[in-house]
Amino acid sequence: MTAWTTTILTIAQAAPGGQSGGMLGMMLPLLVIFGIFYFMLIRPQQRKDKERRVMIDTLKSGARVIFSGGIMGTVTNVKDQTFVIKIADNVKIEVAKGAVSQVVEKGDKVEVEPATR
């Protein structure tokens, strides 16, 4: 058995090795995967972020908005980093601009799912 193993090892060492693909051969699959991730995940997210920033920057007094916490109100004052929102008669709150999740256009109906227990 050892003679057979020795013969196989000798033949394996004597056989010329295949040429390696170099650095490009190893990096090409990684570059392809990165390209797929960029066009499928990163780029659409950047586009959504840009649209959201434009939406927030163009908000003016009188706009109806919904916040990430579910509060709905009307913008009464625009500051550098915050909005002053009227949520009921004589009730105004100040919220960060980043909390705006949606602008409600006039005539749009907002569908709210009832809470379940």
Q: What is the pLDDT along the chain (117 residues), one digit of tens a residue?
A: 576 667 666 666 655 655 555 777 788 888 999 999 998 999 999 999 999 999 999 999 999 999 888 889 999 999 999 999 999 999 999 999 999 988 988 666 666 566 676
Residue 16, domain member (yes or no)? no
pLDDT of res. 49: 92
Question: Do 104 and 72 touch, CB atoms closer than 8 A?
Answer: yes
Q: Which residues of 31-65 are buried (b: 16+ CB within 10 A; e: fewer)?
A: eeeeeeeeeeeeeeeeeeeeeeeeebeeeeeebbb
Residue 65, domain member (yes or no)? yes
Domain that holds residue 30: 25-58
Residue 13, domain member (yes or no)? no
Residue linked to tokens 């601009």: 97
pLDDT of res. 113: 61
Residue 39, domain member (yes or no)? yes
Provide the whole-model pTM: 0.58
Instruction: Specify whether 81 is located in the same domain as 54.
Output: no
pLDDT of res. 11: 65
Residue 114, domain member (yes or no)? no
pLDDT of res. 110: 60
Number of folded domains that form the chain: 2
Instruction: Specify whether 54 is located in the same domain as 31.
Output: yes
Residue 5, domain member (yes or no)? no
Residue 69, domain member (yes or no)? yes
